Structure 1
Amino acid sequence: MAFINYYQAWWPVRTYVTLLATTPHLLDKAAREFFGRSVKELLLERRLLEAKRLLMFTVRSVEDIADEIGFEDPAYFSRFFRKRTGDAPAAWRRHRLQGK
């Protein structure tokens, strides 16, 4: 049996709803109650965390990282990353590696 990192599957919210046999409303309500954020925001935060990890600990290109975390368009990934961190992915990596 192959090992699968399910967190890397980047499932949409509806997949979690189906697997948990619940409704979008109830899942979102539970997420907000326990984490203070929507399910969608939690999933986006997880993607951001993985992007940061890959930027810091690999030499892979931004395009390759974008693809791995489920973004078909590297430009969209860069906008997503910049919106949440204030820096483009390459600049964020450079600043962290230079210790700034």
Structure 2
Amino acid sequence: MARAIVLVGLAIGGTSFWLGEPAFAADQTKCLSPTERNAAITDKRAVPLGRAARATRGQGDMLRAKLCEDAPGLVYRLTILGRDGKVTEATVDASNGQLLGPIK
């Protein structure tokens, strides 16, 4: 009986977690595919990733980078592993490589 209650609780918890996921996904901006990213850099709509990464120099190691569409235009979303071991996020203006706001 207790086992059945645990299984039902896990199923309900898993379902409610899953049901919340689409709302989170809808909040995310559209990120470009590798082909779209290369075209944006070639067309000078975005600086190369290396230039954008300089905006976070000294903050830690870059784990992931995505080029996405956002309100000011194209932005790089960088995930950084800080020297203190914490994972942070930075947004860099893809048109000029400047950091947009503080690293979170």
| TM class by smaller structure | under 0.3
Q: Whose radius of gyration is greater, 1 or 2?
A: 2
Question: 1 or 2, which has the higher strand percentage?
Answer: 2
TM-score (norm 1): 0.24
RCO higher in structure (CA 8 A, sep ≥6) = 2
